[in-house]
Amino acid sequence: MAGPVERGLTATELAAVLAELVPTLRGVELLDVALPGEQDDLLLVFRTAAGKVFLHLAPGGPRARMCLTARRWPKDAFATGPKIDHLRAALNGATLVELSQPAGERRCLLHLRTAAGARRLVVELFGARGAWALLDDNDIVRELSRPVATAVRSLTVGQPYAAPPPAPGAATEPPPRFADVAAVDAHFTAVDLRAELLGERDRLQRIAERATQKARAKAEGLATQLADTGRSDSLRAEADLMLAYAHAVPRGAARMIVPDPLREGSDKTIDLDPSKPVTLQAKDRYDKARRLDDGRAFAEQRLAAARQELAALADLATALATAPDSDALAAPRAALQRLGLLPKPKAPPSANKQPRVPKGHDFRRFVSAEGYPILVGKNNEQNDVLTLRVAAGLDLWLHVGGGRPGSHVVIRLPKGKTASLETLLDAGTLAIHFSKARGERLLDVIYTHRKHVRKPKGLPAGAVVPSQTKTITVRLDEERLRRLLDSAAPDDRRDDA
C-alpha cells in the first residue's frame, strides 16, 4: 500500500512559519549564504542574540519549505562557483529588515538592507521546481536559482522581476500538519535524507550490478578457456600418430586414416591441411598443447580471482539492499573504491596552496545567464590554446563574423546539454566586445561545435578554419554586457580587448 503523497508547505503553513520566524530574525545580521546539495536550495546563516541560526529555503516540488534547520552539511556538499560568489558579494553585511508573504500565496519575501541599498530575496515554493531571485532596489533580478520561461512569464538575470499571475481561484488546502518550525524541519529533513539515501543507494547498486555482470562474463569465459586446456593431452596423442604414419600420407592429402590406439581394430581419421607437410602440422599441435598447459595455471588464478570478486559483489549487493541510512553506505562505497569501481576521494587541498593556472590558460572567464562558463582568449596564441587544447568537442565556439579580427569565445557545456538562445547572445556579445568591431550596434557572430574547428598546417597563431557554422545576429545590449563583465573574476574586469 502506497504511503501518503509528499507535498511542500501550503500557503497556510508558510504563514504560520513566518509568524514564528519574524520575532527571531527581524533586524538580525546575515553572516553567510550557501548552496547546499545539488538542487536549488539556499542556506542563510544569521547571527541572533542566542547565536547562529540557519534558515533553509527549498523552492518548489514536494520538499518546498522555508524553516530554521538543525541539519548540518559536510563541507563538500556545498556548491561553489560564480553564483554563490555573486550572492555573497551582494549580501555581505546585510541585515534582515522584514519577512513577508503575499496573501494566500506560496511565496515569501526577505527584505534586506545592504551597503549598496535595499535588496529583496523572493522565494517561490510553488511549481515542480520553484525558484528564488535576488532583486535590487529597482526590482531587477541580480541573481537567480535558474532561468524561468513559461507561457505567462519569464525570469532572467538583468531583467525586472515578474510576479506570478494570480491563481484563477482559491484552492482548498488540506489541514495544517505542523505544530511549529521545528516540526517542519524534522519532517522535511527526514524526507530529504530518505531521498538522498535512495538516490545514492540506487547509484551504487547500478555500479555493483554492472561490475557483477562483467565479473560473471569473465568467470564464464575463463571456465571455457580452462575446459579447452584439457585438450592438450589429446593434441599430443594426435601429433604422435601423425608423426608415426606421416610416411604413408600422400602429399596434399586432406585427411589421414590411422589405427586408433584406444580402440583395438578401429581406425581414427585426422583432418589435415593439404597445403602443409604432416610433420609441420604435428609440430603445430605440440606447440598448441604446450601453450594450453602454460596458460592453465594463469587461467586458474584469474578464475579464482573472478569468483572471489563475484562473492564480494554479492555481499555488497546485500549490504546495499539493507542499508538503513546513509552512514551504512560508507562500507559498500569503500569496498567499491577498493575494487576500482569508484574513484578514490580526493585529498582536501591545502589551505595555503593556491590553485595554479597553467601557462597560457589564464583566459577571460565569464558566466552566462544560464550558468555556463564562457571563456575568451586574450591574444592569438591563447586563442589557439583555448580552441585547440582546452575546448571539448561539443563545446560551442564563436567568433565575430565578417572576417573581423577578434578573440575566440568558447561556451563550456556539460555533457548532454545545449546552449539556450540567451547563452548564445551572451557569448556573441562577448565575441563582439573583444574584437575590432567593439561598439557596433548590430553584428553577425558565427558559431559551431568545437569539433568542427580545425587548424591546417602553416596557418599563423589564432587562425583556424571552422565548418558547419551557423550565424546569430547580436544587437548591442548594454545591460547584458554589464552583467557579463560583472560576472568575471576581478582580474578580468577590464574593457581592454
291-312: per-residue pLDDT in tens? 777 767 777 888 888 899 899 9
Give the Cβ contact number of residue 147 at 10 Å. Answer: 19
Q: Which three cell numbers stand for residue 159?
A: 531583467
Question: What's the average model confidence in pLDDT over 64-78?
Answer: 93
Residue 2 has pLDDT above 80, yes or no: no
Q: What is the distance between the alpha carbons of residues 28 and 486, in angstroms, rounded to a whole number?
A: 29
What is d(CA 152, CA 142) in angstroms, rounded to the nearest whole number?
Answer: 21
Indicate whether 92 pLDDT > 70: yes
Question: Percentage of the chain with pLDDT > 90?
Answer: 67
Stretch 14-39: mean pLDDT, rounded?
Answer: 94
pLDDT at 117: 93
Surface-to-core class of residue 217, CB atoms within 10 Å of its CB (0-12 exposed, 13-18 middle, 19+ buried)? exposed
At CA 324, angle to CA 322 and CA 327, rounded to 5?
115
What are 481's three cell numbers?
Answer: 554586457
Q: Span 104-125, mean pLDDT?
A: 95
Alpha-carbon torsion angle 342, 344, 349, 355, nearest 10? -60
Confidence of residue 91 (pLDDT cuts 50, 70, 90): very high
Model confidence at 225: pLDDT above 80:
no
Of the listed ranges 153-167, 286-300, 326-340, 463-477, the least confidently predicted one is: 286-300
For residue 118 the three cell numbers come to 535595499
- Position 338 scores a pLDDT of 86
Provide the pLDDT confidence category of residue 90 given band limits of 50, 70 and 90.
very high
With a cut of 90, say whether residue 190 has pLDDT above it. yes
Between CA 109 and CA 57 the distance in angstroms is 11
Bigger pLDDT: 290 vs 66: 66
- By CB atoms closer than 10 A (0-12, 13-18, 19+), residue 483 is buried
Q: What is the 3-state secondary structure (H, E, C) of the chain?
A: CCCCCCCCCCHHHHHHHHHHHHHHHCCCEEEEEECECCCCCEEEEEEECCEEEEEEEECCHHHCEEEECCCCCCHHHECCCHHHHHHHHHHCCCEEEEEECCCCCCEEEEEEEECCEEEEEEEECCCCCCEEEEECCCCEEEEECCCEECCCCEECCCCECCCCCCCCCCCCCCCCCCCCHHHHHHHHHHHHHHHHHHHHHHHHHHHHHHHHHHHHHHHHHHHHHHHHHCCHHHHHHHHHHHHHCHHHCCCCCCEEEEECCCCCCCEEEEECCCCCCHHHHHHHHHHHHHHHHHHHHHHHHHHHHHHHHHHHHHHHHHHHHCCCCHHHHHHHHHHHHHCCCCCCCCCCCCCCCCCCCCCCCCCEEEECCCCCEEEECCCHHHHHHHHHHHCCCCCEEEEECCCCCECCEEECCCCCCCCCHHHHHHHHHHHHHCECCCCCCEEEEEEEEHHHEECCCCCCCCCCEECCCEEEEEECCHHHHHHHHHCCCHHHCCCCC
**pLDDT for the residue numbered 496:** 47
How far is 204 from 237, CA to CA, in rounded Å?
A: 52
pLDDT at 493 over 70: no
For cell 511542500, what's the residue?
8
Q: What pLDDT is recorded for position 1? A: 43
pLDDT at 4: 62
Q: What is the mean pLDDT of the chain?
A: 89
Q: What is the pTM of this model?
A: 0.57
pLDDT in tens, 226-237: 776 667 888 889
- Average pLDDT on 391-404 reads 93
Given a cut of 70, whether residue 349 has pLDDT beyond it is no
Cα–Cα distance between 237 and 263 in angstroms, integer?
14
- Going by pLDDT thresholds of 50, 70 and 90, the confidence category of residue 492 is low
pLDDT, mean of residues 164-177: 80
Provide the pLDDT for residue 495. 44
- When comparing pLDDT for 276 and 362, which is higher? 276
Kindly report which listed range (250-259, 352-361, 397-406) carries the lowest average pLDDT score.
352-361
Percent of the chain with pLDDT over 70: 93
Residue 221 is predicted with a pLDDT of 87
Least confident of 241-250, 356-365, 427-436: 356-365
Residue 93 Ramachandran class (φ > 0 left, ψ -120 to 50 alpha, else beta): left
pLDDT of 403 above 60: yes
Domains and CATH numbers, the chain: 11-163 (2.30.310.10), 201-338 (1.10.287), 364-492 (no CATH)
